[in-house]
Amino acid sequence: MKLKKKDIFFETLENMADTIVQAADYFAQNISDLQDVTLFAGEMKKYESKCDEFTHTIIKELNKTFITPLERDDIMDLTTTMDDVLDGLEATASRFYMYQLTEPDEYIVQFADILRQSAYEIQKAVHLLSHKKLLALREHTIRLNDLENQGDELLRICIKNLFATVNDPIELIKRKEIYERLETTTDSCEHVANKLESIIMRNS
């Protein structure tokens, strides 16, 4: 019996979600003990480029496909928000390289863990979407919102601590930007959740 070929849009979205997990795993595993920032930034760039390729595949397929499994705008918006997550991770990694920052603190490690958990929630949700299990998605969108709230709270704590303990203005600027980029990436994860929520409402 011949297996039904998976829809190109769902397949590509799954591939994107899997790549986000791989990138977030790599980021979290290496951030606590940065031996080589050049290698770290280079590997994260590879993940980001891979995700860009999936985005281009989606755009190409949208341009040539008459009937799509979801609304065209929903497919494109979900693709863009997922791509933003990997862009955020890669942009943060590039700052470690540019600033030659080799000693991440406990707050950066905590952000990395939040982003890693968020990546897995995105992956689970996108795979459920592929199987049209729309209502089951909600568990993961709720969890993504909760993780984003944790990111907000962590940013407040680490910025307060930064200004209380760091006197070197250059070091302060570096750390503050990295904290804020990490928090913005948790926002991007929440944007994925919001897009999934709108897909649930439109298709249930």
Average pLDDT rounded to a whole number, residues 123-151: 95
Q: Which residues contact 177 (CB under 8 A, 6 or more apart)?
A: 95
How large is the greatest C-alpha to C-alpha distance in the chain, in angstroms? 69
- Nearest one of 84, 146, 157 to 118, comparing CA atoms: 146
- Give the rounded percent of residues in the chain with a pLDDT score beyond 70: 98
Q: Where are the alpha helices (DSSP H) in the chain?
A: 8-31, 37-64, 72-99, 106-130, 138-165, 169-203
User: Is the pLDDT score of 203 beyond 90?
Assistant: no
pLDDT number for residue 52: 96
Q: Is the pLDDT of residue 200 over 80?
A: yes
Say which DSSP state 66 is in. S
pTM check: above 0.85 = yes
Residue 3 has pLDDT above 80, yes or no: no
Average pLDDT, the chain: 93
Find the Cα–Cα–Cα–Cα dihedral 24, 30, 33, 35, rounded to 10°.
-140
d(CA 146, CA 142): 6
Tell me 100's DSSP state: T
Question: For the stretch 79-109, what's the b/e string if a residue is b when 16 or more beta carbons lie within 10 angstroms of its beta carbon?
Answer: bbbbbbbbbbbbbbbbbbbebebeebeebbe
**What is the predicted pLDDT for the residue at 204?**
75
Do 189 and 147 meet the contact criterion of CB atoms below 8 Å apart? yes
CA dihedral angle for residue 191, residue 92, residue 57, residue 79, rounded to 10 degrees: 0
Give the amino acid at 4: K
Angle of helix 138-165 relative to helix 169-203, nearest 10 degrees? 170
Neighbours of 186 (CB within 10 A): 24
Give the pLDDT band of residue 33 (cuts 50, 70, 90): confident
